[in-house]
Structure 1
Amino acid sequence: MAKYAIGDLQGCFKPFMQLLDIVDFNPSQDHLYLVGDVLARGPDSQACLEFLCQNQGAISITLGNHDLHFLACALLGKPPNPKDKLDNVFASSKLDKYIALLQAQPLALFLPQLKTFVSHAGIHPDWDIKSALNYAQFAQQCYQSSDAVHYFANMYGAGVVKDVENLNDQDKFKAIVNVFTRMRFLDNNGQLELKHKGPAEISNNLMPWFTHARFQQDDNRYIFGHWAALEGKTNLNNVIALDTGCVWGGPMTLMNLTSGERFSSK
């Protein structure tokens, strides 16, 4: 049984299938971990969703910001952004199935045998793995609850990520979602700076989250997507960026979690 992780699909079905063919992925034996943003902006989000629905026993998804935005639009009855190219998904008779698939997924996973933490945007340096998983579980309970519509309606905005335990449930949910699905840069106080999306340059008192000293001495491995401008480079062996910007013209990247070997679409 092989275990793989793959970067942001964003509706790019053909390179997704190409990578699965390269590694001879067998859904009856292998398992695929998707780091989120499985839909939006690319040409065929519905094909991606359909494949994931048909192979649910062989896949795990850590939700990304585009996945949560899709759920928010669907549950709040809001039209999708035309740039997301999701009209056919929202018009599909299988929309409820796609919603159910994504709403059942977590924000973060830990694979103890591989000492590997997986999420869409990363992990806050102040959060150990146990705390991060607890926060992810709290947020998951929120977006799966009978009050999910309320949480989705108030999900947006910067918010605060320090002292998460002292926040009310809505602000706590927002903070957790921001860390796991939107985080790139942190300021000197460990707060998220959500405007900058470029390369991982340390400037203007901002630092990429993974350059924190904590990760220099951490023997766990952290796998994330979200940050296409990194082009798959973090300069750390234990922090792996898998979003290589397929939807923007770059390759899609898949990694064998046991061997560490990476594969790129053509």
Structure 2
Amino acid sequence: MANYFVGDIQGCFEELELVLAKVDFNPSTDVLWAVGDLIARGEGSLPTLRYFKQLDGSAKVVLGNHDLHLMAVAAKIKRVNPKDQLDALLDAADLGSLIGWLRLQPLVQELPEQNIIMTHAGVPPQWDIQTLRAQAQLVSKALTSQDYIPALIAKMYTNKTHVWDENASELQRQIYCINALTRMRFLRPDGGLDFDCKLSPDDCQDPSLTPWFNANGLIKETHTLIFGHWAAVMGKVENPNIYALDTGCCWGNHLTLWHMESDQKITQNKLKKS
């Protein structure tokens, strides 16, 4: 049995197939962990979702911001981003089934034997493991409720909820959890989330901002953290217990697969379209 962790696929399904072929991935014995953003900018969002759905117990997925946005687009709350290639997915006869499957996916996955935690964007440094689990569960509970669209999806689009407050309302804590676990990059001096700078830490011109993985944190002292989301980082994090797996395949770079047991990364370059 092998555990493979893959970075943001973003609809790059052909590249996913190729990188899995390089390691002879076998869903009967192996597990494929995905850091979220299964869909969006690539041409293969529909086959990507279908593939992970049929993998069933052989896949461990967390939701990314693009996956959550798909729910809003499908519900006609938001318009499709012109840069996303979602027509085939949105026109698919099984769209409802695929959305239903996505709603069952959590914001956090754990491999307890190895003290591994996987989220899409990272973990707020001020949270301990109990807080992470509890707040992520609140979001999962809301996503599986019948009124998830008006109760959460329609209300999650705000940058105002950027500072953690354990005494905030349940909805505000859900929104902060989504913002932190699926959108976080830099932190402001007060520990709040910054949503403006998407550059790499080396290129950011604001000295007051700190990459979340460089801030003093509770969970990163005891766990290995796996995340994606931040393509500009290109996998370069100095902490040996933090793995950044988004290497911008949809932007013309490559898809990264991490084999946990051997601590090796396998990559597949973005295919050039003729």
2:260, 2:179 → 1: CA distance? 26
CA shift for structure 1 position 161: 4.3
Q: Which moved more, 1:35-44 or 1:150-159?
A: 150-159
| Deviation sequence 1:109-160 (CA, Å, 0-9, x none) | 1211111110000000001122111111111111111220121001011133
Work out the percentage of aligned pairs sharing the same amino acid: 39
Confirm or deny that 1:110 pairs with 2:113. Answer: no
Letter of the aligned partner of 1:68 in structure 2? L
SS at match of 1:55: helix
| Deviation sequence 1:76-101 (CA, Å, 0-9, x none) | 45442221110111111010121012
After the TM superposition, which residues 37-56 of structure 1 pair with which residues of structure 2 at under 5 Å, given as runs? 37-56=37-56
- For residue 268 of structure 2, what is the aligned residue in structure 1? 265
Report the TM-score, using the length of structure 2 for normalisation: 0.93
- For residue 272 of structure 2, what is the aligned residue in structure 1? none
Structure 2 unmatched ranges of 5 or more: 270-274
Residues 88 and 77 (structure 1 numbering): CA distance in 2 closer, same or farther, change over 3 Å? farther
After the TM superposition, which residues 95-174 of structure 1 pair with which residues of structure 2 at under 5 Å, given as runs? 95-150=95-150, 151-174=152-175
8 Å Cα contact 1:62/1:106 also seen in 2: yes
8 Å Cα contact 1:161/1:176 also seen in 2: no
Residues 185 and 77 (structure 1 numbering): CA distance in 2 closer, same or farther, change over 3 Å? closer
2:124, 2:220 → 1: CA distance? 15
Letter of the aligned partner of 2:7 in structure 1? G
Partner of residue 209 from structure 1, selected from 195, 208, 212:
212
- For residue 9 of structure 1, what is the aligned residue in structure 2? 9
Report the TM-score, using the length of structure 1 for normalisation: 0.95
Letter of the aligned partner of 1:124 in structure 2? P
8 Å Cα contact 1:121/1:227 also seen in 2: yes
1:91, 1:157 → 2: CA distance? 28
Q: Which moved more, 1:152-161 or 1:209-218?
A: 209-218
Structure 1 unmatched ranges of 5 or more: none
1:169, 1:252 → 2: CA distance? 36
CA RMSD of aligned residues (A): 1.6
After the TM superposition, which residues 20-35 of structure 1 pair with which residues of structure 2 at under 5 Å, given as runs? 20-35=20-35
1:197, 1:233 → 2: CA distance? 15
- For residue 249 of structure 1, what is the aligned residue in structure 2? 252
- For residue 180 of structure 1, what is the aligned residue in structure 2? 181
CA shift for structure 1 position 239: 0.8
CA shift for structure 1 position 14: 1.0
